[in-house]
């Protein structure tokens, strides 16, 4: 039985994630991908803003530490998206432009939440799950 040139120690091609045909399928254009990454960058920057704005006023130590860790992670991911957008586009990058007014409104509403309960619900039950689903 002849073996495929990519067969090595009985490992499936492409680590079993998909076939070669699926891997070669075109999904998003570069412009669509850049637009998507700009939206992710905007949300991550705004999440960082929301989390750091509430650290000093937060009475619960556990939430303070969670906010600071998650703000750091948002900043790291936003920086990575900024770097990737700069690799795909010529300047100006346009990362300071609000990609959609609904995103701005959502982030403003969560930022202005009256208590830490509403803030936690807005961030961890609305924004973060939507961010993960968009990936």
pLDDT interval class at 8 (50, 70, 90): low
Choice between 67 and 96, residue whose per-residue pLDDT is larger: 67
Which pLDDT band holds residue 2 (cuts at 50, 70, 90)? low
Q: By percentage, how much of the chain surpasses pLDDT 70? A: 92
- Given a cut of 70, whether residue 16 has pLDDT beyond it is yes
Alpha helices in the chain (DSSP H): 20-23, 30-53, 61-88, 101-111, 116-121, 128-134
pTM for this prediction? 0.80
Query: Cα 73–82–121 angle (5° rounding)?
Result: 40
Kindly tell me if the per-residue pLDDT of 5 is higher than 80: no
Separation CA 21–CA 5 (nearest Å) = 16
Question: pLDDT tens across 48-58, in order?
Answer: 999 999 999 98
* CB of 86 closer than 8 Å to CB of 70: no
Q: Is 65 left (phi over 0), alpha (psi -120 to 50) or beta?
A: alpha
Q: Are 50 and 110 within 8 A, CB to CB?
A: yes
């Amino acid at each position: 039985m002849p073996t495929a040139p990519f067969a090595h120690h009985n490992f499936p091609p492409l680590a079993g994630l998909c076939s070669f045909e699926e891997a070669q399928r075109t999904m998003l254009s570069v412009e669509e991908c850049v637009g998507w990454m700009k939206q992710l960058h905007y949300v991550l920057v705004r999440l960082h803003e929301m989390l750091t704005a509430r650290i000093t006023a937060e009475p619960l130590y556990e939430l303070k530490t969670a906010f600071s860790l998650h703000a750091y992670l948002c900043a790291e991911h936003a920086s990575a998206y900024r770097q990737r957008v700069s690799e795909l586009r010529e300047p100006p990058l346009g990362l300071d432009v609000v990609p959609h007014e609904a995103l701005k409104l959502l982030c403003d509403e969560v930022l202005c939440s009256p208590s830490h309960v509403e803030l936690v619900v807005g961030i961890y039950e609305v924004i973060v799950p939507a961010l993960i689903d968009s990936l």
